[in-house]
Amino acid sequence: MQKDKTVLVTGASSGIGYELAREFARNGHDLVLVAPSETELNTIAEDFIRDHNIDVTVVAADLRESEAPDEVFDQLEASGIEVDILVNNAGFGARGKFHEITLEKDIGMIRLNIEAVVRLTKLFLPPMLERGHGRILNVASIAGFEPGPMLAVYHASKAFVLSLTEALATELEDTGVTATALCPGPTDTDFFPKAGMVETNAFQKANVMAPQEVATLAYPALMRAERVFVPGAMNKAMVFARRISPIGAQAKMNEKMYQETDPEDQKRVPGEIAQKAEAESDERR
């Protein structure tokens, strides 16, 4: 049996998760797609099966619910599907001062960004270790390297994912199983509209990557078993610079990034960078 054959991707219906799933499909991997909407997942599955001649399993689940990871695992186990690569991608953010964001929203963020990652990894890692091979890709963020006023809980959640993954990478040495933290910077996905951040400097003025580019760069990094992968030269430079600057300065820099851009300078619209990348990709093909 081919190693690394079947890949489970959470948050697979849009953004980086969708593009990662498509990149795996292009490389011949069978897929398990997890997201809340079964209708959206079925449409994506049909496209992948048609375009790439792979097997695709759809599991509709809201991973903010504590029992959802177990339900996903049990469904796959009952179907005899072994997951060789686990991609913990699902997550969201919310812009605002900590005391202004509802507790319900922050707890939902913690459950999806942190708890679901821990639960799914606890479930799928032991079978990988028993088989002696497997890969885990946890989608963190460059936000995990520093505090983020106005996105305090989101930054903290990604710091957890980053730290957890780096620790796992060491624990898993010589087991045949690897752990990689993917740390993208600002990316043109529905993260910005859902987080209320389209009008901010982070979207309007920062170097925003297309999710297709993130996925294309992330795939070989995972297969090389890199512990931490930051896609994009600008993002790498930002991480390096901020790791050697005072924490207070980092926090102030992020606070400024999350402020609203002057209305006359708000020219970007969500999806335009991703659409341009898709059009350029179609032309190359």
Tokens of 137: 């890709």
Distance CA 63, CA 70 (A): 10
List of the chain residues with pLDDT < 70: 1-2, 285
Residue ranges in the chain assigned as alpha helix (H): 15-26, 38-52, 68-78, 103-110, 116-131, 152-171, 191-195, 201-204, 211-223, 233-243, 247-257, 272-284
pLDDT of res. 76: 98
What confidence score (pLDDT) does residue 224 get?
A: 98
3-state secondary structure of 248: helix
Q: How far apart are CA 102 and CA 64, in angstroms?
A: 16
Query: Helix (H, G, I), strand (E, B), or coil: what is residue 269?
Result: coil
What pLDDT shows up at residue 281? 77
Single pTM value for the model: 0.95
Report d(CA 168, CA 164) in Å as an integer: 6
pLDDT in tens, 6-63: 999 999 999 999 999 999 999 999 999 999 999 999 999 999 999 999 999 999 999 9
Catalytic residue ranges: 154
CATH fold of 6-284, please?
Answer: Rossmann fold (3.40.50)
What is the tens place of the pLDDT at every residue in 213-234?
Answer: 999 999 999 999 999 999 999 9
Exposure string of 106-115, with b = 16+ CB inside 10 Å and e = fewer, is bebbbbbbbb
Say how far residue 56 (Cα) sits from the centre of its chain: 20
Identify the burial level of 27 via C-beta atoms within 10 angstroms of its C-beta, where 0-12 means exposed, 13-18 middle and 19 or more buried. middle
